[in-house]
Structure 1
Amino acid sequence: MLQHPGRNAMIRSTRRAALTLLALPAIARAQGAWPERGVTMIVPFPPGGATDMIGRMVAEGLAPRLGRPVVVDNRPGAAANIGVAALARAVPDGYTFGVVSLTTMGINPWLYKDRLPFDPDRDFMPLTNGAITPNVLVVNPRKIPATNLAELVAWLRANPGRANYGAGAAGTAIHVAMEMFLAASGTRATHVAYRGSAPMMTDLIAGQVDLAVDGAAVAWPHVQAGSIRAIATTGAQRAFFAPELPTLHEMFPDTIIDPWHGFALPAGAPAPVAERLSREIQAVLRDPSIDQRMRQAVMLPAPMQPAEFAAFIQAERRRYGPVIERAGIRAD
């Protein structure tokens, strides 16, 4: 478990206890006839990116199963900490749940430590993983002429510090992936931070930045259109949508990052509600039409049982601590 200074942990625990006491009547009602009204899903990233796409697909499939609307509430900012902190503070009555991810639960605890505005172990009830979104390393071919990984590394080494790359704020999964690659290859490039994938991709296509790692859900349509060039993927295995494309770790062992996006309730939500919501989200993810849509969007559905997902989150957090230290990644 990640250790936080005692004072901050005490403040969070006191706030959580007070919030739970205030919410007891609503929680009791929720256990009886949930849901009696619409449900809100907090997505801690802006519209247009892979996380938002996953959230909206699940919301669309979940609404008819619950018989109530599921409203997506985008709360981006501060490497997604703003939205996840809002989820942690939400009334735990089952009417607010949200997306958690590798960035927020596996990486940010190492970067922000005592400045993290939530406790990844205590403040949430994990429901299920949602999907894995393969990353792809891409370049603007008008700025960098490389056609494969070896040529890209050679170009970066011949032009040290000349390139700039787009990514989210320090510590987002795509930023960590790029810094892992730069550290492993012994090359340098300047980080240009964006609040989301959509504006970053716009600038990459326009040549305002030279290269990027981004979710294939966002990048691949532009690769297919010829606007940008794919160099490699970042996963443990070659991607199902482009088996001819090498992975980074084929040239640089241990340079592996597989972003995931799951769902959680704030801690203290009624157990029957958590069980129902987990079951319904998993059913949505296993629906053949949703599975097909996700794969068409270059995502892999990955439902899990709550206990399995909770253990997975902790294992991912343990795995990325040494990676972040080796790459020298620091929060902005």
Structure 2
Amino acid sequence: MHLMGCAVGTLAQFLPVLYIMITFIVYAVVNGSLNPVVVSSSLAILYLLRVPTNWLPVSLSLAADAFQSIKRIEDFLLAEEVQAQPDITLAPAVKLSNASFTWESPPANEDSESRKDEEKKNRMPRAMRRQRAGHEKKGIETSDTEVLPVRDSDAPFSLSDISLECQRGELVGIIGSVGFVKTSLLIVLAGDMRQTGSILQFTADRAYCPQYAWIQNASVRDNITFGKSLHQQLYSNVVHASAIYSDAGIVLLDDPLSAVDAHVGTHIFNEAICGLLKDKCRFLATHHLHLLSRLDRIIWMVDGRIEAIGTYEELAESHPAFASLVAVGGH
């Protein structure tokens, strides 16, 4: 885009000289000579066209940008409406029954390079593109979850047959191999993957806290309050954790302890996750296995699927591989 802008700017400056040269060359070829009177009067007229000619390439570039913007607006307006609203009568905070989800397929007319870019965005989805510290959406419990392997480079990533429930005030951990699967489950709960089947219900707004913060071009306070009115006491309590300010009933935390020192992580876990958020339904994707015994329940993911769900003691007793995983401190 920068090179294109430079090219348009250069053409805008050079075009008036170019069309004057072409005009007189054509006149000389057709008439055999240039008359000084004709040249001087022609220059005066051509000079009047200098500013419009300067703007011609710029206008064409702006028109192309406008066309692309209109196309994006059209795609947005024609997109499927999201009807999901919190159901306050639901007993669990979040309930998924045999639900399936997928990323949108990349457009068929994209070239291979554009497709790769789109796939990258799909792997770090709207959560990345829309990475907001406080948003809305869902929760969790038991299930058979299967991640369909992507065999074709054009096939979108998908999760199938998820059945989960999570109660209010429950802290649920998500552990597994390093990769995108833990994050993808949070993104499903955030409502950022297209639902292709069955039921997804929630009882409150959702706040999503991604690994990579989405920073607005605004003040620190505006980035924390995120459009909500200022409540000074609440602001003072959560000034270091803006996702909490949204006061959402369901909080999705994508490994917030991974990029901080051990003592800072302990403080965040004790004071924020188990303190200010103690009455919320919380999902915590983490690789800090020493925290597992403090979680109400654990979702253990292996090879892109949910291997088991239960308390720390239940998983340690019934799954030797889980006990071994915790013992060696691996992930």
Shorter chain as denominator, the TM-score bin is: under 0.3
- TM-score, normalising length from structure 1? 0.23
Q: Answer 1 or 2: higher relative contact order, Cα 8 Å, separation at least 6.
A: 1
Higher Rg of the two aligned structures: 2
TM-score (norm 2): 0.23
